A and B are shown apart, each in its own frame.
Chain A
Amino acid sequence: ETGVTQTPRHLVMGMTNKKSLKCEQHLGHNAMYWYKQSAKKPLELMFVYSLEERVENNSVPSRFSPECPNSSHLFLHLHTLQPEDSALYLCASSHTGDGADTQYFGPGTRLTVL
């Protein structure tokens, strides 16, 4: 496989559930990102990891917990979510984490919180 992949593509969960989103990049990049895209709102950056260290946490509630075990994998652990957290969650990667390079995006996970 090439590019950036995300699983699952669709997820429906209750407010008391715990689930995880997975992202994998096959581009040899050193930086990975989580974005949230809500209906009728601009894409919002959630987290940035560069060389497996978190370098940006954009005031995201603690019910979202990222994990980056290596430069190719990124997880977003979800617990006790709210219905307003329903959105498309996009993962991206780039060669560096300084904003200078093109970011390559995965297809996203469509999350619905009931």
Chain B
Amino acid sequence: KQEVTQIPAALSVPEGENLVLNCSFTDSAIYNLQWFRQDPGKGLTSLLLIQSSQREQTSGRLNASLDKSSGRSTLYIAASQPGDSATYLCAVVAYGNKLVFGAGTILRVKS
């Protein structure tokens, strides 16, 4: 059974700092890995999708990497801003299967 773990559970940083969120998964046979953002009481917004054949994806200040063999992904946020405060969720998809989510990292960027 696929399990996804996210570390740390919560993170508080001053504005402008670069930061890394970690995601690990137990079964390396995945189809893709996705990072989402969730604001309090709201739905999820897709940030980045990395196919299993890819190593990384970039969007603006966000960079996500994937090391399928070791079962790890990182989300790098450059020059963090208070507006980045949210819960960040990692999810993996096995071939022809469903999204399995981690519990998330709650990020707070202080101004």
Interface set of A (CB-CB < 8 Å, partner B): 4, 6, 40-45, 48, 56, 58, 88, 90, 92, 98-100, 102-108, 110
Cα distance A108–B43 in the bound complex, in angstroms = 6
Residues of B within 8 A of A48 (CB): 98
Q: Which residue of chain A is the closest to B39 with respect to CB atoms?
A: A107
- Measured as residues with beta carbon below 8 angstroms from the partner, the interface class of chain B is 20 to 34
Residues of A within 8 A of B4 (CB): 42
Contact B99 A45, beta carbon cutoff 8 Å:
yes
> Beta-carbon contacts of B88-108 to A below 8 Å, as 1s and 0s?
010101111111111110000
Residues of A within 8 A of B95 (CB): 99
The B1-50 residues at the A interface (CB cut-off 8 A) are 4, 31-32, 34, 36, 41-46, 49
Contact B93 A90, beta carbon cutoff 8 Å:
no
Contact A99 B93, beta carbon cutoff 8 Å:
yes
Interface set of B (CB-CB < 8 Å, partner A): 4, 31-32, 34, 36, 41-46, 49, 89, 91, 93-104
Contact A108 B98, beta carbon cutoff 8 Å:
no
6 more A-B contacts (CB under 8 A) besides A90-B43, A100-B93, A105-B43? A43-B44, A56-B98, A98-B96, A99-B99, A107-B42, A108-B42
Residues of A within 8 A of B49 (CB): 102
